[in-house]
Amino acid sequence: MEPKLSDYKTEVHNDWCPGCGDFGIVNAIQMALTEMKVPRHKAAIFSGIGCSGKTSHFINIFGIHTLHGRVLTFAQGAKLANPEMTIVVAGGDGDGLGIGAGHFVAAGRRNVDMAYIIFNNAVYGLTKGQASPTLQLGLKTKSLPQPNVNQSVNPIGLAIASGFTFVGRGYSYDVRQLKDLIIAAVKHKGLAFLDVLQPCPTYNDINTRDWFAGLDNIDQTTRKSQPRIYKLEDTGYDPVVHYGSEEEVNEKLTQALVKSNEWDTKIPTGIFYQNELVAPYEQRIADRIPNYLENPPAAQPISAGGKPITDISKILDSLQV
Amino acid sequence: MQSTDITWVIGGPQGSGVETAANIFAGACAGMGLKIFGKREFYSNIKGEHSYFAVRVSDKKIRSNVSNITMLVAFDAETIFRHANDVYSEGAIVYDSELVQIKTDEVSTLDEPFKSRLTNLLSSKNKEYTIQGMIDLCKDRGVQLYPVSFKGILANLAEEMQNPKLRNMFRMLNVIAVSVSLGLLGLSPATLLKSVESVFSSKPQIAEMNKQAANYSYNFAAVKFPKFKYALQSVQKEPNTILVQGYQATGIGKIACGCRFQSYYPITPASDESVFLESHEVFDVKNNRPGSTIVVQTEDEISAIGMVIGASLTGTRSATSTSGPGFSLMAESLGWAGINEVPIVVTLYQRSGPSTGLPTRHGQDDLMFAIHAGHGDFPRIVYASGDIEESFYDTGKCFNFAEIFQMPVIHMMDKFIASTVATCKRFDPDLITIDRGKLLEKIDNDVYKRFAFTEDGISPRSKLGLENGIFWNTGDESDENGHISEDPVNRVQMMNKRASKLDLVLKTIPKEDQAVSYGVSEFCIVSWGSNKGPILDALEMLKKEGINIGFIQIKLLQPFPTDHVKSLLKGAKTIIDIEANQSAQLASLLNEYLDKKVDYYILKYTGRPMTCTEIYDSLKKILEKKAEKKQVLTFGA
């Protein structure tokens, strides 16, 4: 039987604020799973802590709601032990780029085959609106006692510098594009990162839905508002590394970095960078352990009749006096 | 026949091949059928600081080091300054005759506190502050001296082999020194050469050169000096004996019992085990395809434990190995594994804390921390192994405990066990049982609830990838499905469900695995972990004098086996707590759980393991009613 969208939804009450951008992301994930026809028991969503952390409870696949900042570590362990699983990771901006930034960088270096979505709203919502690592310097969102005193981190740039092999950005109010980006991220062979702009209607009164729509961004000649969000694909941008020459890789990395710096009046969405010529971590293991992919840890029998079946005699022989 | 029991110590700067020399010595002696117990001491340093290896060799079962040295082998000055005074009066020193003029001030790695104690000693005996002074001091006590020019041996060897390059091969001084000592101890040259070959087995050319040096040095000593009075004699080799280090035992245990995922962040003294596992990542499996362990070096210990939890959720036996500082970082995730009832094993190789403490030295400072790590109330098992052999079998037990009771298990090891090398009976994997508890392989209908309330508090466990077995986990309090719940009634039920598993642990784990009695008498020792070896050896020394002291080794430390320990201690009147920390952490448990209070404390927290000699001396003082309530041991460089 063909899976339906409703199959991927749980009956858990969703307690996000009305108008929260997170709804668009959870819908897009469910739509992507439906479209890819991933069997429910072959997929898992790992989430961090914060509003975004609750995502795993709303999706009817294995749902692992982990700890603040640590979601990538749990997810990588699971994927390496059972590489057959389709794994989607969901976390907040504070979760992934503040408390979990070390894991973000290390995960990029490994390139484990998963998709990692950051719900980026520039504030810590669940603790009442403190500045997150993606809030711009000097901005004072409504519950901040003083303007933000830190520079913001550039998530796309950091992902590229860390070695993520798929780097993209979506917008939670463009669910269709976001669904396509999630499918591309999941299908990508390696670690895919999606920065999803997601207005927080309660605490971020600056980067609002109207702000992204550019209602304040008036073109001086036409006197019309200019949407900030635009799609890279509409500009003929090619994010893909096709051949892997040093020159080509440098060019693709550089254009992605340049694009990642656009923000105030034009904000690009879509795929910034994709390179499937870098071996995923699983392949690097399989190069050493030839039967890893067909006989991974989760599939290995370890006992028969309650007794070990691993043969340790060679190791013991080497220690024999 | 005279029985053999000697302690041979070799020292030198770190990076100069002290360990290699000790391995050659231990291998050669083990090859003669002798029992070995060796420990390695080193600074937190890569090159230059003083390290040494103390190898005790006997024809009887030995489980610890003694304090004094029978033969000291020094190819640098510092070794003499630091250890010569510990050599028995009937013992011997093999040293480099070219070093005698070296003054204490010329050895930059002699730290001030030690140097001032040393110079006080030398001046009290009217000796100069030089190697010669130290040597004279030993000579006065009757110590046998074997001055040898190691470089001279190298030069002669170069000439004999017509290979001038050999003259400057100072890297071989270690092999020369060990070979000279074996010449004096009268061990057969063939055994020596076999051991050299085995130690250098991966580098045949180097092996050949070292064999020449060994052979030459051995003959040099055998011809030049009369044989040392404590000569080694070979004995009937016990079949199925292995020479193994502690970290290898847990590593092999993990492979045998089916641990297929290990993540770690480098830390002394734990990472040796992970490196060992990675070196043996592929292995044969009976009637099956080759198996493998995935070993992941993570960015920190937080990631290490996170990965272990993730891997365990797939139904894979998973573990991490760490030491105190790393375990501190794991505390939050440990609670997550607790509330989500995830079976994980943390092998905790203790070292001296707090903070960085003595990073390469022994200690048992983390018992209370292991029992309490993490916020909130959640069940966990803390289980301690007493020696190398136990640690192999206990590793298998810890994975069973984790899966049967669905909770984190902290397997307590320490630096002493990790870096001890000892002969022991070849491990028998058939003595390991694998019990995966309520792990499900198949679920027929779609009504699965991961945290279903059951009579025994343990819910059937699904795994990622299992059809019809979808579940949710959360660090929040949850309902039976694993979804967040703040309902007060559910909260109490869930807390009680998890807590009830601790009673089940005490009911299910066999009594003999909870605490081991080595006999109980009026005076009775209670201890845990690696103190077992020196305690048993000390008790044997006392037994020879007709004195019986009891000993209870507690292995299950959380939940505490109160009833069992109480019943074991029925006949005891005086309780002696022995442990390697300052605050007597086990004693605080004993005083909390038992009716009897601890009467005497024998504690050591210099960072060096206890010797049986020290424990023997302290016990004698207690028996003679000359002991303070608390005795603090200090032996060891």
Q: What is the ipTM metric for this complex? A: 0.98
Q: Is residue A303 part of a domain?
A: no
Does the distance separating the beta carbons of A311 and B286 come in below 8 Å? yes
Q: Is residue A174 part of a domain?
A: yes
Query: What are the residue boundaries of the structural domains of chain B, listed by start?
Result: 5-224, 244-431, 438-509, 512-633
**Alpha-carbon distance B54 to B608, whole Å?**
12
- Which residue, B423, B362, B351, is CA-closest to B63? B423
Q: Is residue A196 part of a domain?
A: yes
Same fold, B244-431 and B512-633: yes
Q: DSSP for A232-255?
A: GGGGT---B-SS--HHHHHHHHHH
Nearest-CB residue to A316 (from B314, B426, B475): B426
**What CATH number has the domain spanning B512-633?**
3.40.50.920
Contacts of B292 in chain A (CB under 8 A): 289, 291-292, 295, 297, 300
Helices B173-185, B204-224: inter-axial angle, 10-degree rounding: 40
CATH 3.40.50.970 fits B244-431, yes or no: yes
pLDDT at B2: 64
Nearest-CB residue to A80 (from B294, B315, B470): B294
Number of domains chain A is built from = 1
Q: Give domain B5-224's CATH architecture.
A: 3-Layer(aba) Sandwich (3.40)
Test mutation, A13, A292, A302, chain B, max B CBs within 10 A:
A302
Q: Which regions in chain B score pLDDT beneath 70?
A: 1-2
Contacts of B468 in chain A (CB under 8 A): 41
CB atoms within 10 A of CB B515: 21
- Which residue, B315, B282, B370, B499, is CA-closest to A314? B282
Q: Is residue A209 part of a domain?
A: yes
Contacts of A80 in chain B (CB under 8 A): 261, 294, 296, 307, 311
Contacts of A296 in chain B (CB under 8 A): 294
Q: Is residue A183 part of a domain?
A: yes
Q: What is the pLDDT along chain A (321 residues), one digit of tens a residue?
A: 789 999 999 999 999 999 999 999 999 999 999 999 999 999 999 999 999 999 999 999 999 999 999 999 999 999 999 999 999 999 999 999 999 999 999 999 999 999 999 999 999 999 999 999 999 999 999 999 999 999 999 999 999 999 999 999 999 999 999 999 999 999 999 999 999 999 999 999 999 999 999 999 998 899 999 999 999 999 999 999 999 999 999 999 999 999 999 999 999 999 999 999 999 999 999 999 999 999 999 999 999 999 999 999 999 999 999
User: With an 8 Å Cβ cutoff, is B291 touching chain A?
Assistant: yes
Does the distance separating the beta carbons of A285 and B429 come in below 8 Å? no
Q: How many CB pairs under 8 A join A and B?
A: 242
Please check whether residue B319 is in contact with residue B372, taking contact to mean a CB–CB distance below 8 angstroms: no
Does the distance separating the beta carbons of A12 and B307 come in below 8 Å? no
pLDDT at A8: 98
Cα atoms in the Cβ-side hemisphere of radius 13 Å centred on B77: 18
Q: Is residue A311 part of a domain?
A: no
CB atoms within 10 A of CB A41: 18
Contacts of B464 in chain A (CB under 8 A): 44, 62, 78, 82, 85, 298
CB atoms within 10 A of CB B624: 8
Contacts of B435 in chain A (CB under 8 A): 306
**Alpha-carbon distance A70 to A78, whole Å?**
13
Does the distance separating the beta carbons of B434 and A62 come in below 8 Å? no
Residue B581 gets which letter from DSSP? Answer: S
- Give the Å distances, CA to CA, from B142 to A203, B128, B149, B186, B391: 83, 18, 22, 21, 42
**Alpha-carbon distance B416 to B412, whole Å?**
12
What is the Cα gyration radius of chain A?
Answer: 21
Range of the domain at A229: 5-288
pLDDT at B167: 86
- What's the CATH number where A277 sits? 3.40.50.970
Nearest-CB residue to A315 (from B280, B468, B484): B280
The whole-model pTM stands at: 0.97
* Residues contacting B536, CB < 8 A, separation 6+: B63, B64, B518, B551
pLDDT at B446: 77
**Alpha-carbon distance B601 to B531, whole Å?**
13
**Backbone φ and ψ of A20, nearest 5°:** -65, 140
Show which of residues 198-257 on chain B sit within 8 Å of chain A, judged by CB atoms. 237, 240-244, 248, 252, 255-257
Nearest-CB residue to B311 (from A80, A106, A289): A80
- Which residue, B177, B214, B189, B153, is CA-closest to B71? B177
Test mutation, B276, B314, B388, chain A, max A CBs within 10 A:
B314
Q: Is residue A235 part of a domain?
A: yes
Q: Can you list the positions of beta strands (E) in B125-199?
A: 144-148
